[in-house]
Structure 1
Amino acid sequence: MTDAATGRSKSRRSRLIGEFLDKTLDPLAARQGFSESSLLLRWEAIVGARVAAICEPVKLQWPPRAKRRPADENQAGAKNRPAEKKDEPATLALRVEPGFGLDIQHMSAAIIERVNTHLGWRCVAKITMKQEPLSPRRVRPTKPPVDLAARRQAEAVTEGVADERLRAALVTLGERALAKPAR
C-alpha cells in the first residue's frame, strides 16, 4: 500500500524507536568525527561491560589531509616523492574514569582491535585518553521482590498444566497479577 502524494509505503505496523535512532544520530555523531553512530550506541557490546564501565568514546580525530595542487604533479621531482598516504587511520579519543587510565592504556591494543573489527576496516590506529568523570549512565530498573503468597496461589492454580514451560510462564504471570501493588 503506497501513498500517492509522497510515494512512501504505508506500513500498518508500529516501529521501534531504535529503528530511527541510527539515522537521527548519524549527523550528530559526524560532528565528532564518527562516520556512524553505532560506535557510540553499541560501545558496551564492542568493548565489553567491564571496559565500558570505565571509559567511553568522545571523538574520532582524523589526520589532516594534504591539499594537492596541480602544479606539484608537473614539477620535475614529482616522480621521486613518496606516494601520499591514503586512508590514514584515526585517533580514538576516550573519556576515562579517573584512576583507570593505566588500565585502559594496557588494554588499548585490544580496544583498537575490537573497534576496527566492529567498523570492518582499520579505522583506528591509536587511542588518546582524557581522565574525567564519565557521563551518568541510565540505571536499569530493578524487579520488585517476589510476593510469596501470590506465588503459592499461582502455583496452586497451575498444578494441572502438563507442559513445564507453559506452567512456568503462567506462574510468573499469575504471580504478577495477584501480587499487591507496591506503594
Structure 2
Amino acid sequence: MRKPFGPRPLADLVGPTIADACGRAGFSTVEIVTSWDEIAGPELGPRSMPLKLQWPRDGNQDATLVVRVEGPYAIEMQYAAPQIVERINTYFGWRCVTRIALRQGPVPPRRVPPRPVEPDPALVAQARQEIGTFENEGLAASLARLGALVRGERRKS
C-alpha cells in the first residue's frame, strides 16, 4: 500500500506526539491541557498549568489533578478548587477528578495568538456590494470581511 505524498494537516502529525506526552503524565485525553484556560477561568488559567492526573492504585476511579500554580495565586486556586473540579467533570461528562493538589512554582508564559485585524468598514461595505446576494447572511458577511482584508493587504504592499 502506498502512502499519500500530498500535504497533510499539522494536527495529524503533532496529535499523536502530544497524546503520547499527555498519556505519560496520566492524561487520558489532551483536552484538559489544551482547554485549561477555559476550565480554570481567565484569572487563574494563565497563572497555572495542569501537570498530571494521579490515578489511585486501589482501582478507585477518582483521580487527583496536580496543578502548578504561581505562588501569589495558590490561595485563590485553593478556594476555587471545588469549582474547577466541577468544571472539569462537567467538561468531560463524568466524574474523573475528585480533588486538586497544588504545587507552587513558576508557570511559563503562554504565547497568546495575536488578535485578528479588523478590516476597514468602507472596504467591507464595498466588498459586500460586489459579491451580490447570498441566502446565508453570515456567509456573505464573512466573505465580505475576507475580501476587505485581502484588499487591505494588497494596498499595503
Q: 2:98 aligns with which of 125, 132, 137?
A: 125
CA 1:27–1:177 in structure 2 vs 1: closer, same or farther (change >3 Å)?
same
Q: Is 1:36 aligned with 2:29?
A: yes
Name the amino acid aligned to 1:93: V
Query: 1:21-170, aligned counterparts within 5 Å?
Result: 21-63=14-56, 65=57, 86-144=59-117, 152=122, 155=125, 163=133, 165=137, 166=140, 169-170=143-144
Whichever structure has more helix as a proportion of its residues is: 2
Counterpart position of 2:156: 181
Once residues 23 and 37 of structure 2 are traced to their aligned partners in structure 1, the CA distance between those partners, rounded to angstroms, is: 20
CA shift, 1:59, in A, is 1.2
The CA RMSD measured in Å over matched residues stands at 3.4
Counterpart amino acid of 1:105? Answer: Q
Q: Post-superposition shift, 1:88?
A: 4.6
Displacement, 1:172?
Answer: 5.3
Structure 1 pair 170/54, CA: closer, same or farther in 2 (3 Å)?
same
Would you say the 8 A contact 2:68–2:105 is kept in 1? yes
Larger of the two Rg values belongs to structure: 1
State the alpha-carbon separation in 2 of the partners of residues 99 and 93 from structure 1.
17
Instruction: Say if 1:139 and 1:157 are closer, same or farther in 2 by CA, change over 3 A.
Output: closer
**1:45-65 deviations in whole A, cap 9, x for unaligned?**
3333333122210112233x3
Amino acid at match of 2:64: T
Percent identity over paired residues? 28
Q: How many residues align?
A: 152
1:58 partner SS:
strand
**Aligned match for 1:16, one of 2, 9, 32:** 9
CA separation of 1:20 and 1:160: change in aligned 2, threshold 3 A: closer
Letter of the 2:55 counterpart? W
Q: TM-score, normalised by structure 1?
A: 0.62
Distance change in 2, residues 1:175/1:47 (3 Å): closer
| Partner of residue 71, structure 1 | none
The two structures have a TM-score, normalised by structure 2, of: 0.70
Distance 1:39 1:163, change over 3 A: same
| 1:129 aligned counterpart, secondary structure | strand
Distance 1:126 1:157 in 2: 53
Runs (5+) with no aligned partner, structure 2 = none
